[in-house]
A and B are shown apart, each in its own frame.
Chain A
Amino acid sequence: MTSARYTAGTENAARIRGLRKAYGAHLIFDGLDLDVARGERVAILGASGCGKSTLLRCVAGLETADEGTIATSGEIGLIFQEPRLFPWLDVARNVAFPARSGAERARVPNVLALVGLAHAATRLPKELSGGMAQRAALARALVRDPALLLLDEPFAALDALRRIELRTAVREILEFTRASAILVTHDVDDALALADRVIVLAGTPAEIGFSGLVGETASRAAILEALGVAELRPRLPARSSRHGASCTS
């Protein structure tokens, strides 16, 4: 069976069944099932090359899976590791780029305010810092009011402080818009800060496919254990306030 991507109404924001993807003889994943409930934020954690970005690209329609089905409901927004703004358009025009109707275009000032860029609407991408550019990319992904936001290592290019700022902003925005999200990252803290549920991929993809999901798990220690990483640092006292660590199942 060839891949079919359809957007028929479903209870879930995303419903993935039996997904298989290989590049030639190199199997990326096979038999992958994943459900994302409406409003749910799922983080997919794994080492580089485990196929997590490929999964996201399949959901976004940038790559075609070899087998399986992907069902999504509503609009999809996608943010990459780098902002990918159009350098010839100012911030407001970049954000308005995907808009197809007057109503969507009218949302531009709102989403700019939401990401904290209302003051930078007329700036060109070359005049933005890395964090601001990524915020503009976020605004662009939000302008069609997506039901599902796909985030592919969106904080990886930022310094530590900008990283924390932006992921807090993303979390607040997701709570405000009630959009579902799939976050792909190799950073445990990003996953814990943003997600309701963390899925860990471990081992080499050829061995495990996605059928070898190690677990849907909660704590940092459990995640690291699932990743097969021993934390070499001496144990620090537990941090008192870590938002978003409330993981289920």
Chain B
Amino acid sequence: MGRFAVPLALFAAWWALTASGRVKSYQLASPYDVLREVLDLAQSGLLWRDLGASIERVALGFTIALAFALILGSLVGGSRAAERALDPTLQGIRAVPSLAWVPLILLWLGIGETAKITLVAIGAFFPIYVALVSGIRGVDRKLVEVGTIFGLSRAALIARVLVPATLPQLLVGARIGLTQAWLFLVAAELLAASSGLGFLLTDGQQTSRTDEIFVAILLFAICGKLSETLMRALEKRLVGWTDTVPA
């Protein structure tokens, strides 16, 4: 019960505030307005269009980020030469607040899908990359020795020792990367979009429809929570063997 107390109290306060008429609906929509807006949007199909567009951008951007992070992270984690060649540059790029790339991306890629997906990918890339490199670096040398004693080939050593040993860190990085992907999606969709949850936000702002804004915020919360839950379930299933205090 304790975990519902604060949300319920907040909800009651929201309800009371809007029902009393002291707050105008263009400042704060009532829970009823928000619910009606959800149903309206669902009925007209706009809800699914916007939700679908956002999920698609996150999925594509995240997948691209994951692919690049796997390639570059394995290179940098696995070879000192690659680390010397690539890591300083990547760390330099990482030091730039990622949203600072937005103007450049808009200039180069226009305001289409490519720009949005690229921005999402940039946001998701670094947490995964950093986690993978540190995961590879942190592999217990003693376990590698065991593989060596048993005469494992380099490929077998990678597949049977390094990959499983790195997986926990990689999955944590992927979970953070996915959260970042949603964050960057909002930025991308706020700038220029004609669909997506971020578009709902700007549309609501321009038409002074707080109910629409609330719907978008609620959907962001639900999507973020669902991705987080999904990633945690994946972690539990794949790396439940780790001997750590459950987060």
Contacts and interface: CB of A to CB of B under 8 A. Distances in A.
Interface string B137-149: 0000011011011
Interface of A: 60-62, 76, 78, 80, 82, 84, 86-89, 97-98, 124-126
Interface residues of B, number: 16
B149 A60 contact: yes
Contact of A84 (B146, B160, B165, B243): B146
A124 B149 contact: no
Given A87-B242, A88-B164, A62 B148 contact: yes
B142 A88 contact: no
Contacts of A97: 146, 150, 160
SS of B interface (majority): helix
A87 B142 contact: no
Nearest to B149: A78
A125 to B, nearest CB: 8
A221 B142 CA distance: 36
SS of A interface (majority): loop
A124 B148 CA distance: 22
B161 to A, nearest CB: 7
Contact of B143 (A62, A86, A98, A124): A86
Contacts of A62: 145, 148-149
Given A60-B149, A88-B164, A80 B243 contact: no
A98 B150 contact: yes
Contacts of A87: 241-243
A6 B188 CA distance: 63
Contacts of B150: 97-98
B243 A82 contact: no
B145 A88 contact: no
A84 B243 CA distance: 14
A241 B143 CA distance: 39
A126 B143 contact: no
B55 interface: no
B41 interface: no
B164 A61 contact: no
26 contacts: A60-B149, A61-B148, A61-B149, A62-B148, A76-B149, A78-B149, A82-B142, A84-B142, A84-B143, A84-B145, A86-B143, A86-B146, A86-B161, A87-B241, A87-B242, A87-B243, A88-B167, A88-B239, A88-B241, A97-B150, A98-B150, A124-B241, A125-B241, A125-B243, A126-B241, A126-B243
Interface string B150-181: 10000000001100110100000000000000
A98 to B, nearest CB: 4
Contacts of A84: 142-143, 145-146
Contacts of B164: 86, 88
B241 A80 contact: no
A98 B242 CA distance: 22
B147 to A, nearest CB: 8
Contact of A80 (B142, B148, B239): B142
A179 to B, nearest CB: 16
A88 B240 CA distance: 8
A228 B225 CA distance: 67
A12 to B, nearest CB: 21
A80 B148 CA distance: 14
A86 B242 CA distance: 10
A80 B146 CA distance: 10
A87 B243 CA distance: 8
Given A62-B149, A84-B146, A87-B241, 19 more contacts: A60-B149, A61-B148, A62-B145, A76-B149, A80-B142, A82-B142, A84-B143, A86-B143, A86-B164, A87-B243, A88-B167, A88-B241, A97-B150, A97-B160, A98-B150, A125-B241, A125-B243, A126-B242, A126-B243
A154 to B, nearest CB: 14
Contacts of A89: 241
Contacts of B145: 62, 84
Contacts of B167: 88
A165 B167 CA distance: 36
